[in-house]
Chains A and B, each alone.
Chain A
């Protein structure tokens, strides 16, 4: 009885959680395009989606931005973690870590607004009138990716056996060489999870991009937003269905092959976004 109740409860909550998404997916195959009446099965909206150049460009932009911003953040963040690891002054370490965490603790909208103010001010100083665009998006995304990279890499550094790199240096390695050949291999898992986190964060971000974007560089979330504030084209339902299906596929593959869930939950514990 108890068992029945608990599985019933799980089922109910999941049903509610998935109902809207499922409705959207089902109705993406709707011939008429209405969201309240199913008139017939068709792939019309999918066809239209793949002819929609704006959506495809947005997808491309999203991928480029996510890859670049997560890579830059990973490089900067990893070196920062190294530097912090060797830093002796406790207060400096503490200060740097807490400042880095600001974009993670702050609501997205405040981060977005603050970035926008910076860019608008800079643009007015250098008298550029098309300052926003790929560059500002890249900067913003890299900035909010940084804390996640540090969050995943720092614990790896702390778990390092210091004597190893010291031994390497005693044997004649330069510190840089010691880092690349001794320490780096040890921290690779942390780097990879930081990269992943950054990649997904950047792919998913709407709010910050909303404030620092320009029309010549639209990402997928911005495209979806633009759709939903105007007359929604039904091909957007198809787009949503594809996104959900892709994420489900990736999650299933990864989860039943690896252990990504733990990583996501580490991010969860790291703080709020």
Chain B
């Protein structure tokens, strides 16, 4: 064994350690099963009611995917408009920025009044929730494009549509992707939280229902499922980023990226 452990191995060791502790601490009686059921009993609970969890997962996934389409599609579209045209920017941006600071979850009860307690109200809430950061990032991504690049393209005879396809879109992609990462994560949060509040289906609903009857293993099985959902989403985004981003380093957009990601990581829930 070499003297130094790489960061990656260390990270894996930490995860394995935490998993082991999760199993051992409750078993040894150091933590009451009500607070933290052991990993094996959590998995067991999930396994015995696999059908129920599977159905809940399907509902949640459906809501996440539809909300994601609304949030990302709408966010990119409106962000592109707001980012490239100064007039709508002046009108809309101050509103959007202050809206971003409002804990949007206060709107959720209103949505249930309008749309019922089915999937529609969750989709509406999560879409709006994830829409804002996507839009802000897209708008910022387009505004931070170096005007010299557009001037250079024009000097080479690029038409408006060529400038859009060959300059504006590729230059904005890194920032837009970081917006999608934040926006997508918020969509998952939005769906699960709204399911926990007022609902009749989905993982959030299961967690909330089992909590009221103090069935901790079933609660944690739901939590695990949400965790996997988030990890899966992250993996997808990573894959897209790798596919799309040769230019992560050394671009202005790449730097703007980090600012947005870090400032947007604290959503007001």
The answer to whether A and B come from one shared complex is no
